[in-house]
């Protein structure tokens, strides 16, 4: 199989079962304990910026982008990126990353964040986030927190705790307490 035999296209809801199967195969049950998964649980991913790789109409790889917020900054979280074992080391994953990052750029996003290995993602434009700039909801090796800045200054706007943008919107919309709660005796 050659890379030219693979079709790359936007994700469709019909792909969801195969994508879940690929992610389970790639990451196992531990995927539910990871910091990035905790963020993704906060709301939906951006289907228009998420892509699949098809070989003979079968999903063999996928990548998703999810809206995030940290401080005053907005961006996208890349992941999960997963490729079926029989299709690894053929450039499919890297091509999916390139396609999704370019779609994010065209849609006007300023930065894409991920948790991953710099030797893999570095050639695709990702660099280590300055230590201490961002906090994840669960422990992450700071050397694995990477960003691809699509607009100059977009990364520096991301400060503090990273969360799903929809979760942040729900927090902002929550009614504030106007008086101290009564003590129960």
Q: For residues 160 and 150, is the Cβ–Cβ distance under 8 A?
A: no
Could you give the CA distance from residue 147 to residue 79 in angstroms, rounded to a whole number?
12
pLDDT of 29 reads 64
The answer to the question of residue 92 being in a domain is yes
- The tokens 């695709």 sit on which residue? 124
Q: What's the structural domain count of the chain?
A: 1
* Any domain includes 69: yes
pLDDT of residue 40: 84
Give domain status of residue 177, yes or no.
no
E strand or H helix that includes residue 149: strand 145-149
* Residue 131 placed within a domain: yes
- The pLDDT value given to residue 4: 75
Per-residue pLDDT tens over the stretch 43-95: 899 999 999 999 999 999 999 999 999 999 999 999 899 999 999 999 999 99
* Residue 184 belongs to some domain of the structure: no
Eight-state DSSP code of residue 30: G
Angle at 103 between CA 76 and CA 14, to 5 degrees: 85
> Residue 130 maps to which CATH number?
3.40.630.30
User: In the structure encoding, which two tokens stand for residue 144, read together?
Assistant: 């694995």
Does residue 185 fall inside a structural domain?
no
Domain extent at residue 156? 3-172
Cα-flanking dihedrals φ and ψ of residue 101, to 5°?
-65, -40
Q: At 161, list the tokens.
A: 């705790």
Rounded to two decimals, what is the model's pTM?
0.86
Q: Which tokens hold the place of 114?
A: 């991920």
**Residue ranges in the chain whose pLDDT is less than 70:** 1-3, 28-33, 35, 168-185
The verdict on residue 113 lying in a domain is yes
Query: Is 30 within a domain?
Result: yes
């Amino acid at each position: 199989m050659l890379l030219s035999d693979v079709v790359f296209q936007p994700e469709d809801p019909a792909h969801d079962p195969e994508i879940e199967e690929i992610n389970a195969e790639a990451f196992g049950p531990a995927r539910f304990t990871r910091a990035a998964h905790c963020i993704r649980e906060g709301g939906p991913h951006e289907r228009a910026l998420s892509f699949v790789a098809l070989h003979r109409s079968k999903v063999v790889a996928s990548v998703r982008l999810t809206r995030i917020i940290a401080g005053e900054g907005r961006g996208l979280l890349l992941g999960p990126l997963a490729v079926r074992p029989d299709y690894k080391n053929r450039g499919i994953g890297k091509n999916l990353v390139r396609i999704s990052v370019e779609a994010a750029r065209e849609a006007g996003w300023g930065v894409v964040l991920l948790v991953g290995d710099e030797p893999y993602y570095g050639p695709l434009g990702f660099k280590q986030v300055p230590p201490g700039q961002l906090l994840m909801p669960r422990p992450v090796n700071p050397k694995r927190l990477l960003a691809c800045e699509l607009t100059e200054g977009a990364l520096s706007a991301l400060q503090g705790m990273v969360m799903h943008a929809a979760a942040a919107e729900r927090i902002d919309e929550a009614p504030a307490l106007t008086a101290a709660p009564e003590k129960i005796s």
